[in-house]
Amino acid sequence: MIELKILEDRIISKQLNWDLSDRSRSEPDTQFIQGYKRANGNIYLYLSNPKRTANQSLLNTIKVVRPRKEILIALNGTEKLFDDTVSIEQYIQKDTTMKYGMPLFSESEIQELKAQKKVEEMTEADFKTYANKFLKSKAQLDSLSKLSISSNGLLYYGYAMIRITFGQVGYNPLITNDEFDKLILRFKNNPETKAIVSKMFEDN
């Protein structure tokens, strides 16, 4: 779980546990906003970081999915470091591909998700709906793996989609790994859902 604060001049990110508590030994990371541009249906943030080479910028690509509720940080953006705004704008002009990425929700939206039903109450019918959505996300993840996206980015995206899909079918997605494992075991032992559980976790 990542907490992201976008301020006027900086972005502060911090890792949290799934119950939104602070993760031990996790320090906030700060990047400074040098500028931004709206183009191609995206918002591009020009970021500097004292830990990187001086005078170079990293480009973060953000897409607003639902205003004031949900954004995504594009995974299929660029990890290139830029030396000046001219090279950044040349890149943006050519950047017309559809963006996929890590969804981030507003605090109010997260509170609404937390208020949804507990996964331990999930019915067989709802699990089948969840599993089908999960399989679609898995297929998308397989497609993204063929692009030049970091393996860490794909890993975090996979973990995020496991939980976000719970929210889409009406359940609280902020669950621990132990709660997820118990849920999967319950439906793995159910003859009506055993096959779809196997399909969820089979290698391609």
In terms of domains, do 62 and 136 share one?
A: no
Query: Per-residue pLDDT averaged across 7-34, rounded?
Result: 85
Residue 111 within any structural domain of the chain: no
Is there a single domain that holds both residue 90 and residue 10? Answer: yes
Q: pLDDT tens digits, residue range 173-189? A: 998 889 999 999 999 99
Please state, in angstroms and rounded to a whole number, the distance separating the CA atoms of residues 196 and 28.
39
- 101 shares a domain with 6: yes
Q: Provide the pLDDT for residue 132.
A: 94
52 versus 199: the higher-pLDDT residue is 199
Q: Span 20-32, mean pLDDT?
A: 82
18 and 85 in a single domain? The answer is: yes
Q: State the pLDDT at residue 151.
A: 60
- Is residue 156 a part of any domain in this protein? yes
- Confidence at residue 149, expressed as pLDDT on a 0 to 100 scale: 62
pLDDT at residue 150 is higher than 70: no
Task: Classify residue 29: in a domain, yes or no.
Answer: yes
Q: Which of 105, 125, 147 corresponds to the end of one domain?
A: 105
Burial class (CB in 10 A: 0-12, 13-18, 19+), 141: middle
Query: Which residues partner with 38 through β-bridges?
Result: 43
**100 and 24 in one domain?**
yes
If asked whether residues 85 and 126 sit together in one domain, one would say no
Domain membership of residue 147 (yes or no) is: yes
pTM, full prediction: 0.80
Nearest one of 32, 23, 76, 26 to 51, comparing CA atoms: 32
Q: Which helix (H) or strand (E) holds 104?
A: strand 101-105
Residue 52 belongs to some domain of the structure: yes
Residues 97, 126, single domain; the answer is no
What is the pLDDT confidence band of residue 123, given thresholds at 50, 70 and 90?
Answer: very high
Residue 128 domain-assigned (yes or no): yes
Which residues, in sequence order, are CB contacts of 125 under 8 Å at separation 6+?
none
> Within this chain, do residues 126 and 75 fall inside the same structural domain, yes or no?
no
**Domain range for residue 17?**
2-105
- Whether 80 is covered by a domain: the verdict is yes
Task: Single out the residue in 72, 105, 138 at which a domain terminates.
Answer: 105
Looking at the structure, do residues 145 and 77 belong to the same domain, yes or no? no
84 and 16 co-located in one domain: yes
Instruction: Report the pLDDT value the prediction gives residue 152, as an integer from 0 to 100.
Output: 65
Beta strands 101-105 and 2-6 are unpaired
Q: What is the domain count for the chain?
A: 2
Per-residue pLDDT at 140: 76
To which residue do tokens 């320090």 refer? 27
Is the pLDDT reported for residue 200 higher than 80? yes
Structure confidence by residue, pLDDT tens digits, 46-82: 999 877 666 789 999 999 999 999 999 988 888 889 9
Considering the domain architecture, whether residues 100 and 16 belong to the same structural domain is answered as: yes
Q: What is the pLDDT of residue 106?
A: 94
Question: Do 88 and 6 sit in the same domain of this protein?
Answer: yes
**Among 57, 82, 105, which residue terminates a domain?**
105
pLDDT tens for 125-138 read 999 999 999 998 88
Percent residues over pLDDT 70 in the chain: 93
Residue 110 falls inside a structural domain = no
The distance of Cα 38 from the centroid of its chain, to the nearest Å, equals 21
